[in-house]
């Protein structure tokens, strides 16, 4: 058993770390406070080829192994979780197009998506349906060689930049409902597609999250992902498995940043004539944080490796569930160690504390992850140990 990153992964990690230290860390707090869009960071993502993380090389992508994929999100989230969102849903959507798209769709979209000339996201959630995706109300009705789409999507990350935006729709009223669901690739400039508002958020700033209204939006039938109706639910669920590894890695990055800040602060903050790091109560917190973060990291890389060889519903769910809970605890503990200063916007832990909860919600809430894990255990498909 080898717990080391290989040479390429280590080099890649070092490159990412240097980029984050130089181009993200110095601006993150200021840009998040002022609500400035991180254009220069997005340009650097383009230059580094990061929009092509999950795109096959034949279409100009990096087609990274899954551990390297996790490293990208861990390192970026260590600098600023908000900007990891620019790449997160983009990478899920490009993976979905690469794996489920027709050859025509792949050739049409993937080269530009890999270079970042085009960007994308993924539109599943609706005002009345998030966890219960089979309850969506967005409909696409076939009209000759076109589909006509009507509905509202909400909480859509990257919506203002997505072109195309993959939209989960109902194409028939079949039961069970998932049989009547499909994904349509909707170009951003289609008439009737409106970004109706940006949703105000606790954290995860730097990436827009919007409500999207589709009113009689007409798209050619060739926009049906994979060319066959009724496969949408299976297509998005497979992408969400990759998404859980991405969220787990982001959680590890946020937790690590919280730990680094807490350790540094505890060494320099004096109380009762000594650094607070000398107090055993503070040391116990640091030890718990470090142990949990390392366990979350191992679990994330484990799920990433396992996902190379096929479906990993329970592994990805375990990693996402555990790592996001660790991030919640670590950011809270870092705040405690900072005392009053942890509550100040002048210290990074305040932002980390606001960014952490999203990881417990996005890509399926943690209660849903626990249900996924339990189902796999009961059905006998989950792996515990080796
Ligand atoms: C910042 C942000 C960005 C997002 N980006 C995107 C995006 O790009 N694209 C996109 O499509 N969506 C996006 N989402 C939406 C996100 O995926 C949903 O919020 C999430 O799936 C939960 O859905 P919901 O909010 O409708 O909650 P609900 O489904 O209403 O859940 C509410 C509560 O009920 C619980 N619950 C629901 N069903 C069950 C059940 N069967 N058993 C037990 N408990 C249950 C949940 O665990 C939760 O605690 C984003 C959300 C946020 C906050």
pLDDT, tens only, 98-118: 999 999 999 999 999 999 999
Nearest CA-CA partner of 82 in 354, 369, 328, 365: 354
The per-residue pLDDT for 175 is: 85
CATH no., domain 234-379 = 1.20.140.10
The per-residue pLDDT for 371 is: 97
Alpha carbon of 225 to ligand 1 centroid (Å): 24
CATH no., domain 133-230 = 2.40.110.10
Residue nearest atom 4 of ligand 1, based on CA coordinates:
155
Q: How far is the C-alpha of 190 from the C-alpha of 131, rounded, in Å?
A: 28
Q: Could you tell which of 84, 93, 361 is best to mutate to test the pocket of ligand 1, judged by most ligand atoms within 8 Å of the CB?
A: 361
Nearest CA-CA partner of 106 in 115, 114, 97: 97
Q: Is the CB of 122 under 6 A from ligand 1?
A: yes
Q: Could you tell which of 131, 152, 254, 325 is best to mutate to test the pocket of ligand 1, judged by most ligand atoms within 8 Å of the CB?
A: 131
Task: Name the CATH superfamily for 7-115.
Answer: Acyl-CoA dehydrogenase/oxidase, N-terminal domain (1.10.540.10)
Domain extents for the chain?
A: 7-115, 133-230, 234-379
Do 182 and 242 contact (CB within 8 A), yes or no? no
Sign of the alpha-carbon torsion through 216, 219, 224, 225: negative
Residues 6+ apart with CB under 8 A from 346: none
Atom of ligand 1 nearest to the CA of 89: 8
Determine if residue 169 is left, alpha or beta; phi over 0 gives left, psi from -120 to 50 gives alpha, anything else beta: beta
Question: Within 10 Å of residue 43's Cβ, how many Cβ atoms?
Answer: 12
The per-residue pLDDT for 39 is: 98
Whether 363 is catalytic: yes
- Name the DSSP class of 22: I
The per-residue pLDDT for 47 is: 98
The per-residue pLDDT for 309 is: 84
The per-residue pLDDT for 117 is: 98
The per-residue pLDDT for 384 is: 85
Q: How far is the C-alpha of 41 from the C-alpha of 34, rounded, in Å?
A: 16
The per-residue pLDDT for 245 is: 97
Q: Which residue ranges in the chain fall short of pLDDT 50?
A: none
The catalytically annotated residue of 208, 229, 315, 363 is 363
Q: What is the pTM for the complete model shown?
A: 0.97
């Amino acid at each position: 058993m080898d717990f080391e990153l290989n040479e390429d992964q280590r080099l890649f990690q070092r490159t990412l770390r240097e980029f984050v230290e130089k181009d993200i860390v110095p601006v993150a707090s200021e840009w998040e406070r002022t609500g400035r869009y991180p254009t220069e960071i997005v340009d650097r993502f383009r230059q580094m080829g990061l929009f092509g993380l999950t795109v096959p090389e034949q279409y100009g992508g990096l087609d990274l192994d899954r551990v390297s994929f996790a490293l990208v999100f861990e390192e970026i989230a260590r600098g600023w979780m908000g900007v990891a969102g620019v790449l997160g849903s983009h990478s899920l959507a490009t993976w979905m197009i690469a794996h489920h798209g027709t050859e025509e769709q792949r050739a049409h979209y993937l080269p530009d998506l890999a270079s970042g000339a085009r960007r994308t996201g993924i539109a599943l959630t609706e005002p009345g349906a998030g966890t219960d995706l089979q309850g969506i109300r967005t409909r696409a009705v076939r009209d000759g060689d076109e589909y006509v789409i009507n509905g509202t999507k909400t909480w859509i990350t990257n919506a203002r930049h997505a072109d195309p935006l993959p939209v989960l729709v109902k194409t028939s009223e079949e039961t069970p409902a998932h049989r009547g669901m499909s994904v349509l690739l909707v170009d951003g400039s289609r008439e009737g597609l409106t970004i109706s508002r940006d949703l105000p958020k606790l954290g995860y700033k730097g990436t827009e999250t919007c409500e999207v209204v589709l009113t009689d939006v007409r798209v050619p039938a060739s926009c049906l992902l994979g060319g066959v109706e009724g496969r949408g639910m299976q297509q998005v669920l497979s992408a969400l498995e990759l998404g859980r590894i991405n969220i787990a890695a982001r959680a590890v990055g946020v937790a690590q940043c919280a730990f680094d800040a807490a350790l540094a602060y505890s060494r320099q903050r004096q109380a009762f004539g000594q650094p607070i790091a000398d107090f055993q109560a503070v040391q116990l917190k640091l030890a718990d944080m470090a142990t949990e973060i390392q366990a979350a990291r191992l679990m994330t890389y484990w799920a990433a490796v396992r996902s190379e060889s096929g479906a990993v519903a329970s592994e990805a769910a375990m990693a996402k569930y555990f790592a996001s809970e660790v991030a919640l605890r670590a950011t809270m503990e870092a705040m405690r160690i900072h005392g009053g200063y942890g509550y100040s916007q002048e210290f990074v832990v305040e932002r980390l504390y606001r960014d952490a909860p999203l990881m417990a919600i996005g890509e399926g809430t943690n209660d849903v992850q626990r249900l996924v894990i339990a189902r796999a255990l009961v059905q006998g498909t989950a792996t515990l140990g080796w």
